[in-house]
Structure 1
């Protein structure tokens, strides 16, 4: 038996940082992402690879990306239900 715990209700479980950045960039666009999280890797010549380099070394910025991702999920689910 393995000692891993399933996290079925955690939307971040199993998601890579690359997947988060890609989904956010697809949803908001780089300009919109830079407006919501004002960090240079999103506002000046943004790309997934340059963003990942910065985010992997900067825990506070990674936390902001994760928070925005969760907000995006809540917002899209709310819109789907018509609230």
Structure 2
């Protein structure tokens, strides 16, 4: 009688599969630099006398920081499409992407661009907080709705292309 090998589950399509933390950090530092990584991620290991050894030691001990770097690697460096809210409940190494989705070129970042993105995110957060404080619902059943159900899908700005309705296009462009 021949003993069979256990079936090996097919790994989800994830650029982090088989990628060591050392390799990932080397790629990030080579493409960006310590200053841009610090500006984008706000991790002190990238700011105060950064070295590969000290950063790796910190990330191996600090799970939340490692997950932040892995998320940055997936969505800024590899520019993978954003997942559903259920996907974001998972750790970056556990997330999967559909078959055939391949990473794109890394997003170019400068210190000025990171500062602009941070300022916009802060302004959006403050606006959301102001709306919550005024008792107006931001989401939910009390939110006023358009008369016909299709009005929500109409484009308001004709300068921007409409998102693709093609289900095989994960980036919606």
What TM bracket, shorter-length normalisation? 0.7 to 0.9
Describe the shift of the 1:2–1:48 C-alpha distance in structure 2 as closer, same or farther (beyond 3 A): farther
Q: Tell me how far 1:5 sits from its aligned partner.
A: 2.9
| In 1: Cα distance, 2:105 partner to 2:47 partner | 28
Matched residue count:
80
- What is the Cα-based RMSD across aligned positions, in Å? 2.2
TM, length-normalised to structure 2: 0.42
Q: Deviations over 1:15-66 (max 9, x none)?
A: 0011111111111111111111111111111111100010001000000010
Where does the alignment leave 5 or more consecutive residues of structure 1 unmatched? Answer: none
Q: Give the number of the structure whose alpha-carbon radius of gyration is greater.
A: 2
Between 1 and 2, higher relative CO (CA 8 Å, sep ≥ 6) is seen in 1
* Structure with greater helix share of residues: 1
Q: Which residue of 1 aligns with 2:104?
A: 77
**Out of 58, 69, 74, which is 1:65 matched to?**
69
Instruction: Give the unaligned 5+ runs of structure 2.
Output: 81-102, 107-172
Which of 7, 24, 41 is residue 45 of structure 2 equivalent to?
Answer: 41
